[in-house]
Chains A and B, each alone.
Chain A
């Protein structure tokens, strides 16, 4: 939209802007008639007061928004950092350690969280990227609209509903056990829309001239996509994947339903329960009177925040290096 048409539409629609224009015109005429110098920079006292109040409100809102952030991070760091400094936290599990005992580590839960996130990504990243490629490079007509609509629905699915669905299929219908892989399936449902949407955005930003130049050289479509389009959008796609991963790692609802906690190291996705950081937090939360459990709980929360934060930072870093930007 060009600048002039924007101003014209604004005036034609009777927006506040056009009303302001009219008001200022009238004020200017009044100034001319009374021979007062037109006041271009300083409004009336009440207008300046409103402006000052608005400024204070904006700063105050930002300050207010920072309160929970500082408070939450401060609480978690202050209450959980001590355990993280011990090497045992990163090397031992909670096997044979009662809720009231001190000691042990979180390596079982960290491993579980990382394994499940990796498998979730391994399934949803290819599927999500191919879906985005379909939507941007191939999709025309009915199927494309249906796919786009379904991705929208999927992105609105609450995590607990995704978990219920996998439960209905995996446990109720097929009678399988509640294992790590079932958790991954429900996380895939939550991660696909994030990957599709962010990849789609990035692919759309790749200039069409690059594609046309490639076609003009006789390069087939699939090589154009894999060698020209995807590399151009690569860091943007990485950002989307990282943010999606950060989201599913912090998810707890599917774990509550599909991934019961256990205190020992378990790395088999297809057999037995698999501990994760959120379920470890949830386990220790039930022992709210015990100092040892509380400390462990905050330490696990801090570990989870650190992992999620690291992923976020990697994602942002990739976004900054991106050759196409919004």
Chain B
């Protein structure tokens, strides 16, 4: 803006008091607005605190009546005068399925992100990114249906083959489970978390300084060598945090797992096999929603929910720490 167009209102009118006419009447609005935003912040803090307090206070009475060890027992009978329940089996299923999902989704997700940022022709980059994001837009209940009805029969022969060839390994020991196995849950979860891994990795890869990339190429590096020496080292913290956020999502996924999971009969033998069934925290809670009729039963399920909450919290916290470190480095 040139000097000749300086708005005349800027000069103080003669004989008027600037502060009195302009600032004073608006101070009230300022105060209310500030109060509202502070209030919203405080409300969020209060809300999360409430969640914690309520869950703990509901879980404690049930836990104190529990006659089995909560952490190491595989039983789950929450009713009656002598409730016996533990989380060992759910913990095993939840973590194993999530780790399988990570083992599949992280490498593929990183490759897809590299494809979108480095390999795809320019015209394809945006549509490709949108298509992968579409996977995240599919509601999880649809994954559950598709997994249960369409995908399960396809994976089944593969699992049979694994158990006949590698059955001597405890991980692939045949179990006779025909419904959703832990491995199958892992595969479906992998598809569900793939867009998360891809989206975050894509963003950090795109931020690789062009000087690094051009430097590598100018030294005669092939495209892959450029990625290995410039893009991947730069994006590593981002990929780690992406993997952690995805893991948090996989641990807590409810409805798709509830649809495809095979519930084991009470008292069945312990097995290390990934081809066995078993419930995750979320699916057990969702499957037994009808049982929430007494505070004691509800409390037991809330205790399981608390463990899930702590698990996802720890995983997310790790992701945050990695992201913060990276910020400190780049900015």
* Residues of A that sit less than 8 Å from B by CB: 1, 3, 6-7, 10, 15-17, 19-21, 24, 39-41, 43, 47-48, 50-51, 53-55, 57-59, 61-62, 64-66, 68-69, 71-73, 75-76, 126-128, 130-131, 133-135, 137-139, 143-144, 146-147, 150-162, 164-165, 167-169, 171-173, 189, 192, 196, 217-218, 220-223, 225-226, 246, 249-253, 256-257, 278, 281-282, 285, 288, 297-298, 301, 304-305, 308-309, 312, 316
- Structural contact, B41 and A76, CB atoms closer than 8 A: no
With beta carbons under 8 angstroms apart, the residue of A150, A160, A217, A222 that contacts B29 is: A222
- Structural contact, B312 and A282, CB atoms closer than 8 A: no
- Structural contact, B302 and A168, CB atoms closer than 8 A: yes
Q: How far is the CA of A150 from the CA of B51 in the complex (A)?
A: 11
Cβ of B198 < 8 Å from any Cβ of A? yes
Smallest CB-CB separation from B190: which chain A residue?
A68
Known: A135-B41, A305-B139. 9 other contacts (CB 8 A): A7-B212, A15-B229, A54-B223, A58-B112, A58-B115, A73-B138, A127-B44, A252-B140, A257-B285
Q: How far is the CA of A135 from the CA of B79 in the complex (A)?
A: 45
Residues in chain B near residue A48, CB distance under 8 A: 222
A48-B222, A131-B41 are contacts. A281–B47 as well, Cβ < 8 Å? Answer: no
A65-B198, A134-B41 are contacts. A304–B142 as well, Cβ < 8 Å? Answer: yes
- Structural contact, B298 and A158, CB atoms closer than 8 A: no
- Structural contact, B219 and A171, CB atoms closer than 8 A: no
Main secondary structure of the interface of A (DSSP, over half): helix
Residues in chain B near residue A50, CB distance under 8 A: 222, 224-225
- Structural contact, A138 and B37, CB atoms closer than 8 A: yes
Q: Within the complex, what minimum Cβ distance (angstroms) separates B310 from chain A?
A: 10
With beta carbons under 8 angstroms apart, the residue of A75, A158, A308 that contacts B308 is: A158
Question: How many chain B residues touch A (Cβ–Cβ < 8 Å)?
Answer: 109
Residues in chain B near residue A220, CB distance under 8 A: 23, 26-27, 29-30
Cβ of B309 < 8 Å from any Cβ of A? yes
Could you list some 30 contacts between A and B, CB below 8 A?
A7-B212, A15-B229, A17-B215, A20-B229, A39-B220, A43-B222, A58-B119, A59-B119, A61-B108, A62-B128, A65-B194, A69-B134, A71-B151, A131-B40, A138-B37, A159-B252, A160-B254, A160-B305, A160-B308, A167-B298, A169-B54, A172-B292, A172-B298, A196-B44, A218-B22, A220-B27, A256-B258, A288-B149, A301-B139, A309-B137
Q: Within the complex, what minimum Cβ distance (angstroms) separates A227 from chain B?
A: 12
- Structural contact, A72 and B138, CB atoms closer than 8 A: yes
Q: How far is the CA of A224 from the CA of B128 in the complex (A)?
A: 39
- Structural contact, A17 and B229, CB atoms closer than 8 A: yes
- Structural contact, A17 and B212, CB atoms closer than 8 A: yes
Residues 272-330 (chain B) with a chain A CB within 8 angstroms: 281-282, 285-286, 289, 292, 295, 298, 301-302, 305-306, 308-309, 312-313, 315-317, 320, 330
Q: Within the complex, what minimum Cβ distance (angstroms) separates A287 from chain B?
A: 13
- Structural contact, B225 and A252, CB atoms closer than 8 A: no
Residues in chain B near residue A66, CB distance under 8 A: 131
Q: Within the complex, what minimum Cβ distance (angstroms) separates B128 from chain A?
A: 6
Residues in chain B near residue A288, CB distance under 8 A: 149
Smallest CB-CB separation from B302: which chain A residue?
A164
Residues in chain A near residue B134, CB distance under 8 A: 69, 309, 312
Q: Within the complex, what minimum Cβ distance (angstroms) separates A183 from chain B?
A: 13
- Structural contact, A189 and B30, CB atoms closer than 8 A: no
- Structural contact, A47 and B302, CB atoms closer than 8 A: no
- Structural contact, B308 and A304, CB atoms closer than 8 A: no
Smallest CB-CB separation from B309: which chain A residue?
A161
- Structural contact, B233 and A15, CB atoms closer than 8 A: yes
Smallest CB-CB separation from B7: which chain A residue?
A217
Residues 169-209 (chain B) with a chain A CB within 8 angstroms: 191, 194, 198, 209
Q: How far is the CA of A53 from the CA of B227 in the complex (A)?
A: 13
Q: How far is the CA of A217 from the CA of B26 in the complex (A)?
A: 14
Cβ of B85 < 8 Å from any Cβ of A? no
With beta carbons under 8 angstroms apart, the residue of A76, A152, A159 that contacts B142 is: A76
A71-B146, A147-B44 are contacts. A301–B141 as well, Cβ < 8 Å? Answer: yes
Residues 114-158 (chain B) with a chain A CB within 8 angstroms: 114-116, 118-120, 128, 130-135, 137-143, 145-146, 148-151
Residues in chain B near residue A147, CB distance under 8 A: 41-42, 44-45
A43-B220, A64-B108, A75-B146 are contacts. A159–B254 as well, Cβ < 8 Å? Answer: yes
